[in-house]
Amino acid sequence: IDVLVSRLRRKLSTEDRGAPITTVRGVGYMFNAEVSRA
């Protein structure tokens, strides 16, 4: 799982924001991306 999350972080990261996936100790992973209205 660690390898898969690492690959996702690499693919989803941007230069200005970094990866939207963070590790929550003792729980798992959290996806926190900004949402904008269209």
- pLDDT, position 6: 92
Average pLDDT score over the chain: 88
pLDDT tens digit sequence for 22-35: 999 999 999 988 88
- Residues 6+ away with beta carbon under 8 Å from 23: 5, 29, 30
Length, in residues, of the chain = 38
Enumerate the domain spans of the chain.
2-31
3-state secondary structure of 14: strand
- pLDDT, position 13: 86
Token code pair at residue 28: 């798992």
Question: Could you tell me the CA-to-CA distances from 24 to 5, 7, 27, 36, 38 in Å, in that order?
Answer: 13, 18, 5, 24, 30
